[in-house]
Structure 1
Amino acid sequence: MSAQTQAKGKEKEKPIASLLAGAIAGGTEAFVTFPLESLKTQLQFGALEGGKQLTPYQALKGTIQQRGYLGLYAGVTPVIIGNAVKAGVRFTTYDQFKSLLKDDEGKLTAPRSMLAGLGAGMSEAVIAVTPSETIKTKMIEDSKLAQPRFKGTSHAVSTIIKEEGWLGIYRGVGPVMLRQGANSAVRFSSYSTLKQLAQGSVVPGTQMPGWMTFGIGATAGVITVYCTMPFDVIKTRMQSLRARTEYKNSLHCAYRVITEEGFFKLWKGTVPRLGRLVMSGGIIFTVYEKSYPVLAAFL
């Protein structure tokens, strides 16, 4: 292999371009898929409230009847902002880890891609995901009350901080780090592996078509959902309005869910999350793959 080819293979991605492309992709994905995220969160609260378990359709119908279509977007603002930030952080850190872990030929093996994804997921969990997820979860639960307390995102944040302190918006950081680390490790490694397999059907020197990128990203989303759903359920319970009185810690929360509701309740909300991550994987990788080259050319 020539020195020029090796240099190209080891070429590092541009951090600013990765950050901006990731933020654009994350914000777009969050807005499009938020109704599914809202339904998933409501389904995970169902058992906590002791009521009859709802189906995704019943949750959707009830939300629209009670609060209209805008009810599906309760808590969307912090998620769009948080998703834009976390996707920017995720792709930036993943690209940097990926550059460091590539071999001399510029290739990234599946285990190394998983390691890079794990590092990216842990980084985004601490920097962006936990605060936005905590605020979103509390706002969705609050919106279901007969008399909601939160008047908006800023009021929700100030109320949480006033009642629980700054650590209140970092409630559930442990399961969030586990979930995001596992999410990114599984998603990036599966996406990278599937993309390498699909490269054989693409004309050398040309960009992979958008429909193919969407399909690979969607498939990676399916794999991610089933592998990481328990972390998501525990995260939601730990960020609920009643978490302080219900659970001592994440392990106690998992123990109660399994012993009181059954092992498979750790996959509660899988259907809407599956729908969301299938769309999410397709949207976010497609938007990123299209945005990055344009931004990198100007930065």
Structure 2
Amino acid sequence: MVSAGANDGKTPPIVSLVAGGVAGGIEAGASYPLEFAKTRVQLRSQKGIPTPKNPFLVVTQVYQKEGLRALYKGCGSLVVGSIAKDGVRFLFFDQIKISFADPETGTLSPLRNLLAGMTAGVVASITAVTPTERIKTALIDDARTEKRFRSGFHATKVIYAEHGILGLYRGFVGTTLKQASATAFRMGTYNILKDFETTRDIPQNTLTNFANGSVAGVVTTLCTQPFDVIKTRSQSAQGASTAEAVKSVLLDYGVRGFWKGTTMRLGRTVFSGGILFTAYEAVAKVLNPLYSKMYDTIEEAAS
């Protein structure tokens, strides 16, 4: 991402971790109502009642019927998860792409960009994404049905008590497939665009970062939507296996059901993709000089 390190021109791991975590938290909080709307649409609805495709209409309806707090049900879980997820994703992606890069030019081919992103996505799913997404989805589903869960912490306790640690990893396969593909396309597309622009001396400013992030969000959504739908069904309040989730989508909506919520998710990912990468670049730009200064000070003291 940002090419500035202590002495070698590479992003230091601590900068990738902190900048990615801050960016993920900002992005999750700012775009949560659209994530809420998308999740509501993907969960099972009553037969014969049409589901709105306009995310802003869903947000408006929930606000009118259930109040502002309902729109942020599960937000805390997602923000915490996003801080961990994006910290890990940027950390591993920035380090993995160094080993994948061309030794002469320091850049990655499009395929290697995607492979680096895929690897980072798998690590993020195992360490942070699956359990936090499970809690967020369960909270949103529970709020429209049984209303058993009082908070993210309470939901975690109940799910763990009833199903053990595996209960928190419901939907692991679907989530990992989604994260591997989503991170590959999101991080890969962003870096492909950035490398292309760098070779043509296109300035990397806030507007460029936001535009690149938004384009990456569109590509990611269109390519990974089926995995997102399966993940959401698997992580409902009652939970389901990946096979059961796939079967339920086919029975309810047919093959087209795997793209349920695409419009909703596009509304979020275009916006969130721009925010995520813009925030990451801005935070890294602040942290890199601080890290370099600290690094130089330690080097001088050691010598």
Cα deviation per residue 1:176-213 (whole Å; 9 max; x = unaligned)? 1100000011112211111222235546xxx6110111
Q: In 2, Cα distance between the equivalents of 1:181 and 1:257?
A: 22
Q: In 1, Cα distance between the equivalents of 2:51 and 2:44?
A: 7
Cα deviation, residue 9, structure 1: 11
Cα deviation per residue 1:19-70 (whole Å; 9 max; x = unaligned)? 00000100000000000000000000144x5452310355323311222122
Paired amino acid for 2:33:
P
Which residue in the other structure is 2:94 paired with? 95
The answer to whether residue 254 in structure 2 is matched with residue 225 in structure 1 is: no
Cα deviation, residue 296, structure 1: 2.1
Does the Cα contact within 8 Å between 1:46 and 1:53 map onto a contact in 2?
no
Does the Cα contact within 8 Å between 1:26 and 1:80 map onto a contact in 2?
yes
Which residue in the other structure is 2:129 paired with? 129
The answer to whether residue 109 in structure 2 is matched with residue 109 in structure 1 is: yes
Which residue in the other structure is 1:157 paired with? 156
Percent identity between the two aligned chains: 39
Which residue in the other structure is 2:289 paired with? 297
Does the Cα contact within 8 Å between 1:219 and 1:278 map onto a contact in 2?
yes
Q: In 1, Cα distance between the equivalents of 2:141 and 2:47?
A: 14
Does the Cα contact within 8 Å between 1:98 and 1:108 map onto a contact in 2?
yes
Residue of structure 2 aligned with 1:22, choices 20, 33, 36: 20
Unmatched tracts of structure 2, length 5 or more? 1-5, 292-303
Which residue in the other structure is 2:175 paired with? 176
The answer to whether residue 66 in structure 2 is matched with residue 70 in structure 1 is: no
Does the Cα contact within 8 Å between 1:10 and 1:104 map onto a contact in 2?
no
Does the Cα contact within 8 Å between 2:190 and 2:213 map onto a contact in 1?
yes
Runs of 4+ in 1 over 4 A off after TM superposition: 8-11
Cα deviation, residue 116, structure 1: 0.4
Cα deviation per residue 1:82-102 (whole Å; 9 max; x = unaligned)? 001100000000001001111
Residue of structure 1 aligned with 2:270, choices 257, 270, 278: 278
3-state SS in 2 of match to 1:13: coil
Does the Cα contact within 8 Å between 2:137 and 2:236 map onto a contact in 1?
yes
Q: In 2, Cα distance between the equivalents of 1:16 and 1:231?
A: 31
Which residue in the other structure is 1:45 paired with? 43
Residue of structure 2 aligned with 1:216, choices 200, 212, 228: 212
Does the Cα contact within 8 Å between 1:22 and 1:288 map onto a contact in 2?
yes
Does the Cα contact within 8 Å between 2:89 and 2:121 map onto a contact in 1?
yes
Unmatched tracts of structure 1, length 5 or more? 1-7
Does the Cα contact within 8 Å between 2:35 and 2:268 map onto a contact in 1?
yes
Which residue in the other structure is 1:253 paired with? 245
Q: 1:10 to 1:119 in 2, by over 3 A?
A: farther
Q: 1:151 to 1:253 in 2, by over 3 A?
A: closer
Which residue in the other structure is 1:4 paired with? none
Paired amino acid for 1:82:
G
Q: 1:72-87 counterparts in 2 under 5 A?
A: 72-87=71-86
Cα deviation, residue 152, structure 1: 1.3
**Number of residue pairs aligned between Structure 1 and Structure 2:** 284
Does the Cα contact within 8 Å between 1:39 and 1:59 map onto a contact in 2?
yes
Does the Cα contact within 8 Å between 1:120 and 1:184 map onto a contact in 2?
yes
Q: In 2, Cα distance between the equivalents of 1:51 and 1:27?
A: 38
Q: 1:186-201 counterparts in 2 under 5 A?
A: 186-200=185-199
Q: 1:159 to 1:296 in 2, by over 3 A?
A: same
Cα deviation, residue 10, structure 1: 7.2
Does the Cα contact within 8 Å between 2:88 and 2:120 map onto a contact in 1?
yes
Does the Cα contact within 8 Å between 1:233 and 1:268 map onto a contact in 2?
yes
Q: In 2, Cα distance between the equivalents of 1:43 and 1:98?
A: 36
TM-score, structure 1 normalization: 0.89
Residue of structure 2 aligned with 1:235, choices 227, 231, 237: 231
Does the Cα contact within 8 Å between 1:21 and 1:292 map onto a contact in 2?
yes
Q: 1:27 to 1:51 in 2, by over 3 A?
A: farther
- Which deviates more, 190-199 or 279-288? 190-199
Q: In 2, Cα distance between the equivalents of 1:81 and 1:276?
A: 18
Q: 1:109 to 1:201 in 2, by over 3 A?
A: closer
